[in-house]
Amino acid sequence: MSDASTASATTASDKASAAWIERYEGSLLNLFGRPQLVLDHGDGAWVWDVDGRRYLDLVGGIAVNALGHNHPALVAAVSKQAGQLVHVSNFFTSIPQVELAEKLLHLAKAPEGSAVFFCNSGTEALEAAIKLARRTGRTGIVAAEGAFHGRTTGALALTHKPAYREPFEPLIPGVTHVPWGDEAALRSALGPQTSALVLEPIQGEAGVRPADGDYLRLARELTHEVGALLILDEVQTGIGRTGAWFGFQHAGVVPDAITLAKGLGGGVPIGALMTFGPRVSTMLTPGNHGSTFGGNPLACAAGLAVLGAIESQGLLEHARVAGEHLERRVLALGHPLVTGVRGAGLMRAITLAADVSATVAALAREAGFIVNPVAPDALRLVPPLVITTDELDLLIDALPELLDAASTPKDTP
């Protein structure tokens, strides 16, 4: 086995990690639970903790580290920009901001008159999208069951999970959630009071559940019929994650707006709302919205470096091929606990026949692999787009032993 096996020789109670976690718990709000690791540095698809153990990172900051860790193009771009100009107010603009907006519009094949608003995160991009929807003069928004659109209060109203919503209700009114992929429910929910339909091309938080292409095309048709906006949340599916620049491009639809974040900055915080065509792009006017840090030169330089590296390294095609390789090899294991692999490109879930994903993830971490138990019966894999098939094979080769261990009944004392 690779060097990753060395991680199994130690535990999370190692001295340096334990000391930092104790300090963490004494100084940070407990919003994320106990940290699993204290990471120190990374390179490509690998990270090291403060005790020197190495892990293959198959989560990539939850689809954020598109270029992996310590990518030379991203490091060079951020270093250069930091030495030149980090931030300006929105009284001004900068060359990286304009160039990044133009590049995104080009990659999305957005029609003339389209435009971009930059912010700092995916949830902020959703807040801008909600305000865009309100500018239709209507207040109804339709979202999907299983959706995750963020945790700020506006975006939270569109997020479906009760555990996230209920402590903060009442949220903004007018939001209707429809069963995921149910065409009849979609037809019934959309009407003359609907301002927008908001969907993810692939639901990440719900366990990497893809939308059928026909479903997205129907969504486009129905929103046109009732005069509502079709807003696609591309926070996780955008920037090459699925093997195309944006998830909507697989279905051949043109949305009215998309939200972006995660992979766009490769780890430097940045989000965006992109509006398609002059009608939608003129709905928000000066004073309607804003962001102090959004679109600053540093974040935009990072975004340009990420997009440039994806192009120059052929990472769209690589994401598609590597994702298919992963699916084919996992299914070929024939392990009784594996029921399937779903998703696209390098946004995948290995689905399981039992609710043991958290146990598998813990065992994997001890063996030197970082995976995400996104649902009790699903493991989410959203690794850096630079991960090689040989690196993916390290996890796949280790899976049978991990799954066997997770499914073996423990002796009771």
Q: What span, in angstroms and rounded, lies between the C-alpha atoms of 308 and 314?
A: 10
For residue 279, what are the contacts with CB-CB under 8 A and spacing of at least 6?
Answer: 113
Q: What span, in angstroms and rounded, lies between the C-alpha atoms of 335 and 43?
A: 32
Q: What span, in angstroms and rounded, lies between the C-alpha atoms of 172 and 152?
A: 11
* 291 among annotated binding-site residues: yes
Let me know the angle formed at the C-alpha of 164 by 355 and 406, rounded to the nearest 5 degrees: 15
Token pair, residue 218, equals 């129907």
* 148 among annotated binding-site residues: yes
Known catalytic membership, residue 233: yes
Radius of gyration of the chain (CA): 21
* 124 among annotated binding-site residues: no
CB 55 within 8 A of CB 364: no
Query: Which residues pair with residue 232 across a beta bridge?
Result: 199, 258
Known catalytic membership, residue 262: yes
* 151 among annotated binding-site residues: yes
* 83 among annotated binding-site residues: no
* 312 among annotated binding-site residues: no
Of the candidates 262, 276, 369, 377, the residue annotated as catalytic is 262
Token pair, residue 357, equals 């994903």
Of the candidates 148, 246, 276, 369, the residue annotated as catalytic is 148
Q: Kindly report the backbone phi and psi dihedral angles of residue 26, in degrees, each rounded to the nearest multiple of 5, phi listed first.
A: -90, -5
Of the candidates 233, 246, 256, 369, the residue annotated as catalytic is 233
* 393 among annotated binding-site residues: no
Residue with tokens 């003359």: 192
* 123 among annotated binding-site residues: yes
**Which residues line the annotated binding site?**
122-123, 148, 151, 233-236, 291-292
**Which residues line the annotated binding site for pyridoxal 5'-phosphate?**
122-123, 148, 233-236, 292
Residues noted as catalytic: 148, 233, 262
**Which residues line the annotated binding site for N(2)-acetyl-L-ornithine?**
151, 291
